[in-house]
Amino acid sequence: MRISGFSRYALSSCVAAAMLAGCGGSQPPIGARGAQRPVFGVPAPDSAKSGLYISEYNSRSDAVVLGYPTNDRRNDPPTCSESTPYARSIAVDTKGNLIVPEGFDEVTVFKGPGMCGPKLGSFGLGWGGDAVDVASADAADGTIAVAAIQDGSGAGSIEVCRIKGGCSTNLGNPDMDFVSGVAVSKNGDCWAASKQGKTRGYKAFLTYFAGCSGSGQTATHYKNPDTGGLDIDKSGNIVSISYSTPAVYVYSGCKPACKAIGGPFPLKGTAVYGHLNEDSTSFAAADYQYGQVDVYRYSPTAITYRYSFNNGISVNSGIVGAAYNPRSRE
């Protein structure tokens, strides 16, 4: 399993576990009620047109993606689930379709805009990559950018794919040893969050691909001390997680010159991935340290903690991703 290289050069054993096997503590979220067993393989009720997805890595044999109410301050149980054997970080496109990298070289798309819709299709990566993160404006009919933590060459890359036809392009750059995150703007540009190995001092990098093509440009003035997931807020700012701090940084530009406009904003627990809601007022982080979702009030210049929930989440299975439906209007 190529993830071992990422663990050796870039991530602590706990983060590697969060991405591939799971780890966590036993601390419940603030104000949490007792956890209840969630239902599996159940579609959302008709009333569930929006919500928040979370993914766990292989926590149970029948489902690892759970759907929750958009606001779960009461720590209610999940309302629905998707059946998938594995899951890494997850994403929602502009049409509400859910995109699930299932680990190793498989990606599956589930139909939106409602929560927990039927499966639309799957595809395998074309360069032997380990899929850990995804981003797309239209996963059903358009391209999907997949972050491959390492591909067949031994380095990380972004694969550009479609449900029908698979992956046609492999985007790499000398600064992309181990790729953890990907973001795609509404005009089709791509960014990859990655980390170099020991010979480069384990430095974090952000790489910009205009039009999601070419050899990429290394972003300058990128201050993240470590790698993690990416998102784009409604103003087009790059929202970047640094897992080991743990903290969030916000940048404008990055084409390739970044301007830091916010952060580091500390997180309550350690997270590799998280996403914004539709109007970019809330940010949900998949907190694998405590096995919960931490919800924050978001603005580019201030991220403040609001609440957490964990009902139905298995602490020991490694919560990996969190994604709102609808997603951020980039």
Q: Give me 309's structure tokens.
A: 């929930």
What pLDDT, on the 0 to 100 scale, is given for residue 201?
73
Q: What is the mean pLDDT of the chain?
A: 85
Report pTM: 0.88
Closest-CA residue to 209 (of 175, 244, 245): 175
Look at residue 200 and tell me whether its pLDDT is greater than 60. yes
Contact criterion met (CB below 8 Å) for 282 and 323: no
Q: 72-83 pLDDT, tens per residue? A: 999 999 999 998
Single-letter amino acid, residue 31: G
- Provide mean pLDDT across the span 286-294: 94
For 79, left (φ over 0), alpha (ψ -120 to 50), or beta?
Answer: alpha
Closest-CA residue to 104 (of 58, 52, 63, 54): 58
Q: 6-17 pLDDT, tens per residue? A: 333 333 333 344
Spatial distance between the Cα atoms of 324 and 280, rounded to a whole number of angstroms: 10
Question: What's the helix, strand, coil split of the chain in %, to 5?
Answer: 5, 40, 50
Residue predicted with more confidence, 189 or 43: 189
Look at residue 225 and tell me whether its pLDDT is greater than 60. yes
- Provide mean pLDDT across the span 310-320: 83
- What's phi and psi for 39, nearest 5 deg? -90, 150
What pLDDT, on the 0 to 100 scale, is given for residue 4?
34
Closest-CA residue to 236 (of 191, 271, 284): 191
